[in-house]
Amino acid sequence: MDPIDGTAEFVRTEGIEFCSVVCLLEDWQPSAAFVLAPELGRDRTPNLVTADVAGSRITVNGDPGTLLATSCDERWLSVTRSTGAPAHPVDPIARAAGYRLKTRTTSQTLDMLRTAVDLSRLTDPSLSGFALFARREQKLWDGAAGLALGRACGLRDCDETGAQLPLGPPLLSAATPMFSSTVMGRPETVTWFLQATSR
């Protein structure tokens, strides 16, 4: 649970990219998610998103979500980082491949949501989706619900080496559970990213 994901956006008067998040873990894996973005909609109205991994279902405001992979061909990557952190080595490779990069952190959950679901018609200004989400040192509460969203619509997730994310007792018993890296997106885009990072 993360009561405010995107705290810096929450405290900005004009900020809209923040949300409240709950993720259910079953057998150590994300199985359901609830994301409430109270001001992300048009005229700062709420958007409520739920995910059911086993049922492969995502709802947005009670209706079936439009999966990003079937609605458009986005050329944006979310490769955000903390203030002062170095640029990701893949940044220049991605730009050369024609991708545009979001590097400033707002809400990691919302970036993962925008990797899974097309929100462009529900937001003003219209927020584009992402072909891929990648983040180093991601705290569990910033990523678990996003993983549920991605898994509910068939996206691939892994770390920067292509290994499964280490969900389980050792991670969850840590004082601050954190993934060394999180990568999520369409399988072909994740494959491209992993190849680009290994250069």
Residues within the annotated binding site?
2, 4-5, 142
Residues in the chain: 199
CB 141 within 8 A of CB 21: yes
Cα–Cα distances in angstroms (integers) from residue 73 to residues 31, 76, 99, 161, in the given order:
27, 9, 11, 25
Joined together, the tokens standing for residue 57 give 């279902």
Residue 68: left (phi > 0), alpha (psi -120 to 50), or beta? alpha
Q: Which of 6, 21, 18 is nearest to 146 (CA)?
A: 21
Residues within the annotated binding site for Mg(2+)?
2, 4-5, 142
